[in-house]
Amino acid sequence: MPSSYAEVFAVLGEAGVIDARLAAHLRAAAGLRNLVAHQYGVLDFDRVFLIARDELDDLLTFCQQLSVRAGEDA
């Protein structure tokens, strides 16, 4: 059982549910989520903007890989 948001993606990658590259990217995104949730006052808003603008493809890829996986299990 994963003990953190980041570990969820590591487990999914190790199980082959998502590919290893995507798992690594989403683990990093989980770290950003934790920073936003727990240290809002010290955020680099320019960095958050760049990530939101440039790295949303990882979320789309995640959904696509889960969709493919769900289709295989159906």
Instruction: State which residues form the domain around 20.
Output: 5-73
pLDDT digits (tens, 9 = 90+) for 25-67: 999 888 888 778 887 678 888 888 888 888 889 989 999 999 9
Backbone Cα Rg of the chain? 14
Global pTM reads 0.72
pLDDT digits (tens, 9 = 90+) for 4-33: 889 999 999 999 999 999 999 999 888 888
Note the pLDDT of residue 56.
Answer: 83
The domain tally of the chain equals 1
DSSP string for the chain: --SSHHHHHHHHHHTTSS-HHHHHHHHHHHHHHHHHHH-GGG--HHHHHHHHHH-THHHHHHHHHHHHHHHHH-
Integer angstrom CA distances of residue 69 from 12, 16, 59: 11, 10, 15
